[in-house]
Structure 1
Amino acid sequence: MSDVLLETRGLTREFGAIRAVDDVSFQLKRGELLALIGPNGAGKSTCFNMLMGQLKPTRGRVLLAGEDITGLKPRAIWRKGVGRTFQITATYQSMTVIENVQVALMSHHGEIFRVLPYATRRHRDEALALLETVGMADQAERHCAVLAYGDLKRMELAIALAHDPMLLLMDEPTAGMAPRERIALMQLTADIVAEQGVSVLFTEHDMDVVFAHSHRIMVLNRGALIAEGTAAEIRANPLVQEVYLGGGTVFGAEEAADA
């Protein structure tokens, strides 16, 4: 079995005369935590939307474990073992934490369209185990409407894991979080990668988070990949420095967020 889980070949997306993603090719290995960074408007979210099926590429291919999934609907890609978290959390605010995870588990088990008068009893132990994984078991019975934003992000991660994905796409997972919460969430993600072998591709503006936790980093600018390598290699790359800071050093979360 190949150690490459996700591969793109010449991935391109055009909106009229605008080329939002331009001939992007990369590989993500099994059990790898890979960061995709770049200035605002670089094409990161467009790239994610093609990987997950929300957008069809103008050209190019997306392969998952060697299978061509280009152009498949998001639900079909989800069924093949790809999960996603979003910049803005989307939860059922009137439900408790555990009920949100139970709904995700019911979907995973093909029960979401059934009328279940005892739905709150379904997969409760499994839901609690997922909440334990993300450090939220002690808040299982709290309603989502009263949760702090960092806790909502952790719950969203539990929901994404409910499908037992082999690949997790995380679009700016720490957006809106305090610096300490950002580090904690990405450390949790890194632990899940190490313990469960899940592969993660994430976008992020906080360079402290990126450099501290990613195994490898790719840099996107104006739709094209301009650099790829370890944290040390990306820090020292003159082109990356120019893109982010006009010739300065790629260093620190505040500077990166302003780029």
Structure 2
Amino acid sequence: MSLLQVSHLSKAFGGVQALDDVSFELPAGQLLALIGPNGAGKSTCFNTINGQHKPDGGAVLLDGQDIAGLGPRRISRRGVGRTFQVSAAFHSMTVLENVQAALLSHHRKLGQLWRPAARYYRDEAMQLLQQVGMASQVERACGVLAYGDIKRVELAMALSSQPRLLLMDEPTAGMAAHERNELMALTRQLVSERGISVLFTEHSMDVVFAFADRIIVLARGRLIADGVAADIRRDAQVREVYFGSGSTFEDKPGEGEA
């Protein structure tokens, strides 16, 4: 059985059908990219899986248990972590303090934040920061970090809840090419070492084709393709949705619009 099973998921906002009978699966230990043109329904799909939206129909099964309609906190407790496109780190706090705060939340001890954060989970936070390559910057404030380093801190924060499924929303947005590749190579390493599953949205087609084990494509709320990179590159319907012609992704080097 796959770790994540999305079955006939539907969600409408007023007269707009944002998700229309979407179904896909994500096995353990796989990196799955969710792409599509603007307005395809990617964010709605992400937010429905994570609990920000309650679906109008369908199921979201995590290890066979339906989590559709549960709130984000309850879904997190069941083993789902998330990173966001907009920075979720506290810029006035140090790298170490941000990860310690995430650990306090996971252990349900946020009420202890009135005491110095340095007292709590320091060793566990250091281990996470070592894994994401930020152990040498633990005392720096997040507000002075390079953007790629902030993303590494946020990845450590997401891993603090020991997720089985990690949702990454535009993880490389705003990064230079070398930063994008470094972050996704790190993510792939963590997937392999921890055996977790990752579902990510992404605008850079270079990143998608280089790192995703599998790719699913949404257009106007419907799933139109599901396959490995070579299959998606050749898919005529996907090319039509992206380019409105017979162009291929190779004809559009660099970043594509996802």
- Identify whether the pair has TM-score above 0.5, normalized to the shorter chain: yes
Alignment of 1:222-233 (within 5 A): 222-233=220-231
The equivalent residue for 1:12 is 10
The equivalent residue for 1:256 is 256
What is the aligned-residue RMSD (CA, Å)?
A: 1.2
The equivalent residue for 1:183 is 181
Q: Distance in 1 between matches of 2:218 and 2:253?
A: 18
SS in 2 for 1:48: helix
CA pair 255-199 structure 1, distance change in 2 beyond 3 A:
closer
Matched to 1:250, the amino acid is F
The equivalent residue for 2:172 is 174
SS in 2 for 1:241: helix
The equivalent residue for 1:83 is 81
How far residue 90 of structure 1 moved from its aligned partner, in angstroms, is 1.5
Q: TM-score, normalised by structure 1?
A: 0.96
The equivalent residue for 2:122 is 124
Alignment of 1:1-259 (within 5 A): 2=1, 4-114=2-112, 117-246=115-244, 247-251=246-250, 254=254, 256-257=256-257
Q: TM-score, normalised by structure 2?
A: 0.96
Q: Is the 8 A contact 2:39 2:220 kept in 1?
A: yes
Matched to 2:184, the amino acid is M
- The count of corresponding residues between Structure 1 and Structure 2 is 256
SS in 2 for 1:55: coil
SS in 2 for 1:39: coil
Matched to 1:45, the amino acid is S
